[in-house]
Structure 1
């Protein structure tokens, strides 16, 4: 009976451990699944949870909006949720007379977070930590370290593919469900976007299982690691400046933004949804700010331009956040000073590149700095391509920054500044390091003399104790057997001090002499005392 109760208690726990994302540790070997199976379960879980969240939000919008917005039935609501899910992965749509490619990048946070959480479960469920190559002992060769790094990268790539492949196949099904008479999702963009996002999230989560975030960079060799660090610093600096620019523009034009919101009169629920949509487009606006700082600027339709050199606008979409755009005309010289931001970001990135991977050749450091600028330009161009796109046909077929213009401008600005700063930082580190390098110690007695020379000599010695002669040393008192020990009552007779210096002589040792030493006692003698002789020159004869 006791065994039966134990099985009943352990039964629900074992079942929960077999359910994905239930919080169970799953330590039993029977619960371990192959990596492709774990990846398929993780992909299905991500898609189910994501669609459930978006269907709920779409249903709220369907209740608040007019009935013609989402169709007449709940099936149309689910189809609209599928379209929003595809838009979250930056998959465009074809509409009558044009296409929709200007999609909110903030919406990608939902599938990215779900994929990362699912990838962590996949790595734990498939025991990828145990399959990771073991740590090498100290003193291992460089070839063994490179082989271990390659094995880690291969396992990370396998985990990314195991999650991305089934996730992309499920995305194809969602793209078929989301079709209707007005919107036709692009199947190629849907498959590619889901594949790339799932592979990135799966690889990142699997690499996270190796150790802390800092250890992930150690998977790369030294030079690529320096380029990645410098590119990240430059890109984050420019994106931070773009965010500050957007916040300042919204603060100074808050009145116009509020007037546009009142003109739309969306109501309570509609106002919340409108605010949510504008918040989801905030990453797009930050990238537009990056394009503005780099020089090319961005467009709000064909024939328009918003740049530091000038602003040319026409009619803009009725989105309240667009009320923060500057007025048409020539910009002020103070506003043109933002063009210095890419050079500052490049200077910081060049120092980071030189600090992470210094080079002994002075001429190669600027090349690595310019390579950092090239990587930053390519990343900025990719972000510009994702942040812009068409919003229909005719005039709104070009909205956002130009990808190739942003890439070229950022490459030249950041690359030149990073090359100069990397060369200077590398020269300074080599020059300063050569001057501050400690000189090698050739003889131990030099170090001993340097350390002991800081000790102040005693008043009774002429100098350093190693330089003293026999005539210069002070007398060493002898402990006689007729001296009193600690058990003898204290004698209050004052002790006459002996003269100090090189001419001091040994005191007489006759009994009753007032100059006899009574302050030295052999505490280990319990048999009446004995004489102890100390040879001060024994250290010289031990060798």
Structure 2
């Protein structure tokens, strides 16, 4: 089984390589086809494999129920498979009674997976990593990084267009084939849906070939990267909560689901196809659960509502999974607790955003948090629009959540919580940074404190034993010229009995007969005496020494 899966994964590259190299001669392994040619081959392979899978499933259903609505003969089987392929891209149909827009989101996983694998082959086949510019403009490292990122983004977009353009054109031809008297695909929706899905899958696969997943995020600027990660976190939390809500509802109403399944009597093959159909619609139910958690809820027909505030239902289609819907009437009071989940998702998104790109100021972070709420609301509204749709023009013309209500509710709930969480978290990071700087200075002072204490202790011991003079804690007086600014400091005076200690020392060391003794010298009156009582010493300062030298 493992070998079969490995061969299936390697099939796109091997098959396309054989087809493309069938007319190429020579042993040059470095030969690379132009990117548009690789895109056409990848688009053709994706549509061919997808139609083959859906045709096989449709053929099984036709064999199990030959008189069903599959179609007359093998042409009808292929036409039905083509319609399913268009529905997998969420392209609606026009029917005599209105429009069919409630399409299974789970079926979109098939073309998305095939497109991703084909785009990976396209990127390797064209060797897009060697197409990056070898020379970048001169500048700082930041300028070089920005230039390289822009070149990579341009290459990713070019690869997405190279796959999406031929893919949409081929889908237009399929839409013409799938048209019949009952169902008529909308050609505009077909082209747009195939173009968007192929561009997204092709761009994602090309970015993945450039580097790992973290490198893919680094292709975006810092703020855009933080906003993308925050939006993804909030949306995934709400979708996970919606999935848990749906699974719990199915488990609690499993008896009703089994009873409704038995009443349909689908048989063995029909039972398998019925289970497959419900699994394909499970993603729609997850989005409906997200809308329920957000508050607006969803509808199962005109004039119905399933919300935390209450349930109002009419006649429900005979799909077993719909038996898990709550009973009509007011909802239990404890169900309103699910409204806390969007706020929790917004809080987590705000914290993640600040971790990815903290703001330099307190005021900016809450604004980016609310911007995360806007992007999350837009994404949730798009999912709500894709998960619902009409089933004709009768009572089932309104099925699913209201997109604008989901956008408004999710934006306010997630935006407010993300803004508050981002603001508080960003403030805490700035506060910790400032405290870290102050702590570093305090650690330096703490490290020097023991040295100062030891020096003071040694000085006290030395003073007691007579090796040093005791140090008084009194403050030394300043210069006498500063006495006007410190009125408590006495102004020094000139003493009449002052003797120049330097002159006295010179007189004592002078030879006999030379000079005069200290007693014969007249007292000098040009010296200001500043007395220091510490230890009985007298400090003499001559402010006019510069004039005599």
TM-score, normalised relative to structure 2:
0.76
1:409-428 correspondence to structure 2 within 5 Å: 409-428=409-428
Contact 2:71 2:80 in 1 (8 A): no
Aligned residue in 1 for 2:503: none
Equivalent-residue separation in structure 2 for 1:308 and 1:235 (angstroms): 20
Question: Post-superposition shift, 1:136?
Answer: 8.1
Task: Note if contact 1:42-1:119 (Cα within 8 Å) is conserved in structure 2.
Answer: yes
Within 5 A, what are the aligned runs for 1:125-524? 125-133=125-133, 140-437=140-437
Please give the alpha-carbon distance, in whole angstroms, between the structure 2 residues aligned to 1:400 and 1:16: 41
What is the aligned partner in structure 1 of residue 103 from structure 2? Answer: 103
Counterpart in the other structure of 2:123: 123
Partners of 2:439 and 2:424 in 1: how far apart? 25
Distance 2:167 2:256 in 1: 43
Superposed CA deviations along residues 46-77 of structure 1, whole A, max 9, x for unmatched, are 00000000000000000112424222210000
Structure 1: runs of 5+ lacking an equivalent: 1-13, 454-461, 464-543
How many Å separate the matches in 1 of 2:411 and 2:135?
39
**Do the aligned residues in 2 keep the contact of 1:18 with 1:31 (CA within 8 Å)?**
no
Q: Give the whole-Å Cα distance in 2 for the aligned partners of 1:423 and 1:28.
A: 59
Give the secondary structure class of the aligned counterpart of 1:181: coil
Residues 307 and 33 of structure 1, relative CA distance in 2, 3 Å threshold: same
For the structure 1 residues 307 and 428, does the alpha-carbon distance in structure 2 shift closer, same or farther, using more than 3 Å as the test? same
Q: 1:293, 1:338 within 8 Å by CA — same for their partners in 2?
A: yes
**Structure 2 CA distance, aligned partners of 1:318 and 1:171?**
32
Q: Which secondary structure does the structure 2 equivalent of 1:302 belong to?
A: coil
Tell me the distance in 2 between the aligned counterparts of 1:18 and 1:124. 15
**What per-residue deviation string (whole Å, max 9, x for no partner) do you get for residues 18-71 of structure 1?**
44699xxx9935641000000000000000000000000000000112424222
Per-residue displacement from partner, 1:353-402 (whole Å, max 9, x unpaired)?
A: 11111112111111000000000000000000000000112101110000
Gaps of 5+ in 2: 1-13, 452-456, 459-549
1:419-438 superposed Cα distances (whole Å, 9 cap, x missing partner): 11110000011111211237
1:210 Cα shift? 1.1
Alpha-carbon offset, residue 146 of structure 1? 1.3
Q: Is the 1:20–1:121 Cα contact (8 Å) retained in structure 2?
A: no
d(CA) in 1 for partners of 2:16, 2:199: 28
- SS of the residue aligned with 2:99? strand
CA spacing shift, 1:18–1:137, aligned 2, 3 Å:
farther
1:17: Cα distance to partner?
4.7
The alpha-carbon deviation at position 266 of structure 1 amounts to: 0.1
Aligned CA-pair RMSD: 3.0
State whether residues 288 and 298 of structure 1, in contact with CA within 8 Å, keep that contact through their aligned partners in structure 2.
yes
Q: Which residue of 1 aligns with 2:82?
A: 82
2:326 partner SS = coil
Mapped to 2, the partners of 1:260 and 1:168 lie a distance apart of 40
Q: Secondary structure at the match of 1:209?
A: helix
For residues 267 and 128 of structure 1, the distance between their equivalents in structure 2, rounded to whole angstroms, comes to 51
Deviations 1:122-146 (A, max 9, x none): 0011110111246989994322221
Residues 1:57 and 2:57 are matched in the alignment: yes
What is the CA-CA distance between 1:412 and the residue it aligns to?
Answer: 0.4
Q: Deviations over 1:463-517 (max 9, x none)?
A: 9xxxxxxxxxxxxxxxxxxxxxxxxxxxxxxxxxxxxxxxxxxxxxxxxxxxxxx
Separation of aligned partners in 2, 1:161 and 1:381: 26
Q: Which has the higher helix share?
A: 2
Deviations 1:178-201 (A, max 9, x none): 011100001000000000000001
Q: Is the 8 A contact 2:246 2:285 kept in 1?
A: yes
Give the structure 2 partner of residue 43 of structure 1.
43
Q: Answer yes or no: is the 8 Å Cα contact 1:17–1:31 preserved in 2.
A: no
Larger Rg: 2
Aligned match of 2:92: 92
Q: Are the aligned partners of 2:137 and 2:144 in contact in 1 as well (CA < 8 Å)?
A: no
Query: Any conservation in 1 of the 2:138–2:144 contact (CA below 8 Å)?
Result: no
Cα distance 1:266–1:349, how it changes in 2: closer, same or farther (>3 A)?
Answer: same
What secondary structure, in the 3-state scheme, does the structure 1 residue paired with 2:210 have? coil
